[in-house]
């Protein structure tokens, strides 16, 4: 596969060239941290960041979208998005999450045309991690700081330069198109790259998840869930920041005779998520809801699509207001 | 100093268990990340060792109380509610008293273990002081905070790392604790509501623009609501479906409707614990909006929330001389 280097000062040039054919998004300084934002001529790229606060899944599966609208009793589906998009700077964990979401939204039985269109229209360039956050645990769930799953191109940060490596044909085409801006990498660059990734891996604290799926299958009624539920305050931080959580609700809203059918994210942490019209709630305790989130990621998806639905990005670990740490839960149930 | 208070706190809890005066205690234990603690429920004297105290014990534990006393109406007669000890800073204790005043808890079922609060660390200030260096560990001693980073240790002044809410706190400790852990609390702040005052100085357009910009970051995770002891409604207006008060989409008016509802429901109730501020995963400036409530209620009606379990909440009284200026000239 094609490879090439670019001086970081020329990265803006490369993305500007890409912007001529597609909308481009990249890491831009936000009031707090860095966010993945559509680039304009004035955007200043920020390459020194851990990860985006919000998962890039939202570029494919927005927090809410109108999927149909109309009036007088008829609804018309929203046209499929056609815009070509280049996303630069996803971390490898988040790119891997898209491969997992594909198993849900691209399943032929329940194909999601909006998600599919966006996936097909988008080229993903990841930026490998040199310095993972203490809450990260990607290597424990099959990923890695330089992993290529979900990426079309992987970029390695060598200091003053970026080393690009194409992973897919889409990535190959992208690098070929911008070949004029790239130089050939040397053996020393490869050595540097391998050292960076090995150093990054060494900084990660491993979490043992071997056998967790099997153990969880027998722990549905275990007391551990109510212990977690007692501490859990029932907000949606973990689910809404999670790159693999994908549950949503459908709502019809009417104003002045115009109806919109809206698909909006939902979270299994909320009682309303499972509240039935009768008033009965099959997940009546916060413990039952906390169990659902762990089971869904580490047991049900393993049975249903053969994958653990966690990429170890650490967002839920870092941002839970009561410090519920999924790594500890996995250690506890796996022990 | 934290160590001594921690020892006293554990002794106090041990003696409450020994005397059979509590069934459980809600406190703080060491967290899994640097600069973090987390809530812990101790039901057994053997677990008392888990209790910690220090400037990372940020969570307002009163949020857990209403659910311990809430139970289906048909069980009310046979339900025996527990007696709960709660480790409380000044703000947390005021939340407890506010909940008693609002009939969410029987006062006699809660044992307030009052801590002499010296203020809580704002991890974002520590991060800023380290210029982006990773925080691997941290320890606090004698007014300083020593942070371990990959490049070595760095010692910071604890006073400079305290949360803004703590720097402006008027009630670091309260008189109505059932068990008062002895120690020197922070002095009540003289300068209060500085950022709210600055916000008030802005023009209406500027305030609207700032509010719009901040609220547009909201992802509707409702963490601000869920960590707030005052948000105990069985069904929040934001969750009601018949009728729906708030649309499902991410439209700014929907986000604003939720936040305006949440904030106004804090009038005469907010104890300025900043739990909502800390919980927001999007770092929305909730402090400046929310603290407008206690500031106005104190200035206009001379009422401060949570100072006692008795009396009538500000929102439940009306006199014909009440100042209505907040409506016409906010």
ipTM of the complex: 0.95
Q: Is B265 within 8 Å of B297 (Cβ atoms)?
A: no
Q: How far is CA B259 from CA A108, A266, B105, B223, in A?
A: 40, 19, 26, 12
Burial of A13 (C-beta count, 10 Å sphere; 0-12/13-18/19+) = middle
Q: Which two tokens stand for residue B183?
A: 């120690």
| Closest Cα in chain A to B213 | A31
Q: Which DSSP letter does residue A315 get?
A: H
B70 interfaces chain A, CB cutoff of 8 Å: no
A258 interfaces chain B, CB cutoff of 8 Å: no
A71 interfaces chain B, CB cutoff of 8 Å: no
Q: Smallest CA–CA separation between A104 and chain B, in Å?
A: 22
Q: Is B224 within 8 Å of B286 (Cβ atoms)?
A: yes
B290 interfaces chain A, CB cutoff of 8 Å: no
> Phi/psi at B63 (nearest 5 deg)?
-60, -25
- Structural domain spans, chain A: 3-63+78-202, 212-334
Nearest to A253 among B64, B134, B247 (CB): B247
Q: pLDDT tens for residues A127-184?
A: 999 999 999 999 999 999 999 999 999 999 999 999 999 999 999 999 999 999 999 9
Mutation for B interface: A78, A131, A199, A235, most B CBs within 10 A: A235
| Closest Cα in chain A to B67 | A230
Nearest to A135 among B33, B39, B250 (CB): B33
Q: pLDDT tens for residues A197-215?
A: 999 999 999 998 989 999 9
Nearest to A323 among B36, B63, B250 (CB): B36
> Which is nearest to B253 in space by CA: B202, B208, B288?
B208
Q: Which pLDDT belongs to residue A73?
A: 84
Q: pLDDT tens for residues A63-102?
A: 999 999 999 889 999 999 999 999 999 999 999 999 999 9
B227 interfaces chain A, CB cutoff of 8 Å: yes
Q: pLDDT tens for residues A113-125?
A: 999 999 999 999 9
* pTM as predicted: 0.95
| Closest Cα in chain A to B31 | A323
Q: Which DSSP letter does residue B162 get?
A: B
Q: Which pLDDT belongs to residue B250?
A: 85
Contacts with B123 from chain A: Cβ below 8 Å: none
Q: How far is it, in rounded angstroms, from Cα A180 to Cα B47? A: 65
A134 interfaces chain B, CB cutoff of 8 Å: yes
Contacts with A267 from chain B: Cβ below 8 Å: 221
Q: What percent of chain A has pLDDT over 70?
A: 100
Q: How far is it, in rounded angstroms, from Cα B275 to Cα A206? A: 31
Q: Is B229 within 8 Å of A235 (Cβ atoms)?
A: no
Q: Is A153 within 8 Å of A165 (Cβ atoms)?
A: yes
Q: Is A217 within 8 Å of B205 (Cβ atoms)?
A: no
Nearest to B223 among A235, A251, A317 (CB): A235
Nearest to A231 among B32, B36, B38 (CB): B38
Q: How far is CA B325 from CA B203, B264, B296, B330, in A?
A: 17, 16, 10, 7
Q: Which pLDDT belongs to residue B141?
A: 86
Contacts with B244 from chain A: Cβ below 8 Å: 253
Q: Which two tokens stand for residue B174?
A: 């309260």
Mean pLDDT computed over A294-316: 97
The low-confidence residues of chain B, meaning pLDDT below 50, are none
Q: Which pLDDT belongs to residue B329?
A: 67
Q: How far is it, in rounded angstroms, from Cα B295 to Cα B304? A: 9
Q: Smallest CA–CA separation between B299 and chain A, in Å?
A: 32
Q: Which pLDDT belongs to residue A32?
A: 77
Q: Which pLDDT belongs to residue B75?
A: 61
Q: Is B73 within 8 Å of B109 (Cβ atoms)?
A: no
Q: Which pLDDT belongs to residue B327?
A: 76
Q: How far is CA A117 from CA A18, A85, A227, in A?
A: 19, 11, 42
Nearest to A235 among B248, B278, B279 (CB): B279
What domains can be seen in chain B, in order of their start residue?
Answer: 1-120+169-191 (3.40.50), 123-161 (no CATH), 193-321 (no CATH)
Our CA dihedral for B262, B219, B256, A283, rounded to 10 degrees, sits at -50
Contacts with B24 from chain A: Cβ below 8 Å: none
Q: How far is it, in rounded angstroms, from Cα A203 to Cα A231? A: 29
Judged by CB atoms closer than 8 Å, whether chains meet at B38 and A53 is answered as no
Contacts of B256 (CB under 8 A, 6+ apart): B211, B212, B215
Nearest to B249 among A54, A133, A264 (CB): A264
Q: Which pLDDT belongs to residue B287?
A: 95
Q: Is A269 within 8 Å of A239 (Cβ atoms)?
A: yes
Q: Which two tokens stand for residue A177?
A: 């198109």
Q: Which pLDDT belongs to residue B81?
A: 85
The per-residue pLDDT of chain A, averaged, comes to 96
Q: How far is CA A212 from CA A137, A217, A287, A297, A302, in A?
A: 16, 9, 19, 11, 10
Burial of B201 (C-beta count, 10 Å sphere; 0-12/13-18/19+) = exposed
Q: What would the DSSP string read from start to end of B209-278?
A: HHHHHHHTT-----HHHHT-TT---SS-GGG--TT-SS-SS--HHHHHHHHHHHHHTTTTT-----HHHH
Burial of B220 (C-beta count, 10 Å sphere; 0-12/13-18/19+) = buried
Q: Smallest CA–CA separation between B192 and chain A, in Å?
A: 25
A135 interfaces chain B, CB cutoff of 8 Å: yes
Mutation for A interface: B25, B31, B32, B126, most A CBs within 10 A: B32
Q: Smallest CA–CA separation between A323 and chain B, in Å?
A: 6
């Amino acid at each position: 596969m094609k490879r090439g280097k670019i001086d970081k000062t020329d990265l803006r040039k490369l993305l500007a060239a890409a912007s001529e054919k597609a909308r481009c998004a990249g890491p831009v300084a936000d009031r707090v941290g860095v966010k993945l934002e559509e680039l304009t001529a004035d955007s200043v790229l920020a390459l020194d960041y851990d990860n985006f606060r919000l998962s890039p899944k939202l570029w494919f599966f927005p927090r809410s979208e109108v999927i149909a609208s109309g009036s007088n009793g008829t609804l018309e589906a929203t046209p499929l998005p056609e815009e070509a998009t280049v996303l630069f700077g996803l971390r490898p964990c988040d790119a891997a999450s898209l491969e997992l979401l594909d198993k849900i939204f691209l399943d032929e039985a329940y194909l999601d045309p909006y998600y599919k269109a966006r996936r097909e229209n988008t080229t993903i360039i990841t930026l490998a991690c040199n310095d993972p956050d203490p809450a990260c645990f990607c290597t424990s769930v099959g990923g890695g700081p330089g992993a290529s799953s979900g990426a079309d191109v992987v970029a390695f940060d060598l200091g003053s330069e970026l080393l690009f490596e194409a992973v897919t044909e889409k990535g190959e085409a992208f690098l070929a198109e911008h070949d004029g801006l790239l130089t050939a990498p040397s053996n020393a660059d490869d050595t540097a790259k391998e050292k960076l990734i090995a150093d990054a891996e060494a900084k990660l604290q491993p979490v043992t998840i071997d056998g967790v799926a099997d153990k969880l299958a027998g722990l549905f009624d275990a007391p551990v869930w109510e212990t977690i539920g007692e501490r859990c305050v029932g907000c949606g931080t973990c689910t809404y920041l999670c790159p693999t959580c994908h549950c949503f609700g459908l709502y019809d809203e009417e104003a002045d005779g115009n109806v919109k059918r809206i698909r909006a994210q939902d979270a299994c942490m909320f009682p309303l998520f499972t509240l039935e019209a009768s008033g009965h709630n099959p997940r009546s305790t916060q413990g039952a809801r906390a169990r659902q989130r762990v089971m869904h990621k580490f047991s049900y998806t393993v049975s249903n699509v053969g994958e653990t639905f966690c990429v170890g990005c650490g967002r839920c670990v870092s941002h839970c207001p009561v410090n519920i740490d999924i790594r500890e839960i996995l250690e506890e149930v796996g022990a | 100093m934290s160590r001594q208070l921690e020892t006293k706190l554990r002794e106090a809890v041990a003696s409450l268990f020994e005397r059979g005066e509590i069934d459980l205690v809600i406190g703080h234990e060491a967290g899994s990340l640097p600069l973090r603690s987390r809530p812990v429920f101790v039901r057994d004297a053997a677990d008392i060792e888990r209790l910690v105290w220090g400037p990372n014990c940020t969570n307002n534990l009163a949020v857990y109380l209403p659910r311990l006393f809430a139970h289906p109406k048909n069980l009310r007669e046979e339900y025996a509610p527990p007696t709960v000890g709660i480790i409380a800073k000044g703000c947390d204790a005021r939340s407890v008293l506010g909940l008693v005043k609002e009939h969410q808890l029987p006062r006699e079922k809660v044992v307030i273990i009052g801590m002499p609060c010296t203020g809580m660390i704002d991890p974002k200030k520590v991060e800023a002081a380290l210029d982006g260096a990773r925080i691997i560990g941290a320890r606090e001693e004698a007014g300083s905070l020593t942070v371990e980073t990959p490049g070595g240790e760095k010692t910071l002044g604890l006073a400079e790392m305290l949360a803004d809410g703590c720097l402006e706190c008027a009630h670091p400790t309260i008189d109505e604790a059932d068990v008062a852990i002895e120690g020197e609390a922070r002095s009540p702040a003289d300068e209060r509501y500085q950022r709210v005052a600055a916000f008030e100085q802005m023009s209406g357009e500027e305030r609207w623009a700032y509010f719009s910009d901040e609220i547009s970051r909201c992802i509707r995770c409702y963490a601000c609501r869920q960590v707030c002891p005052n948000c105990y409604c069985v069904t929040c207006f934001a969750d009601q479906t018949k009728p729906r008060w708030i649309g499902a989409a991410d439209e700014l008016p929907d986000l604003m409707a939720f936040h305006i509802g949440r904030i106004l429901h804090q009038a005469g109730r907010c104890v300025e614990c900043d739990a909502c501020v800390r919980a927001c995963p999007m770092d929305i400036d909730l402090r400046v909006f929310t603290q407008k409530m206690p500031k106005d209620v104190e200035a206009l009606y001379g009422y401060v929330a949570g100072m006692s379990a008795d009396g009538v909440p500000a929102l439940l009284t009306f006199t014909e001389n009440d100042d209505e200026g907040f409506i016409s000239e906010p």
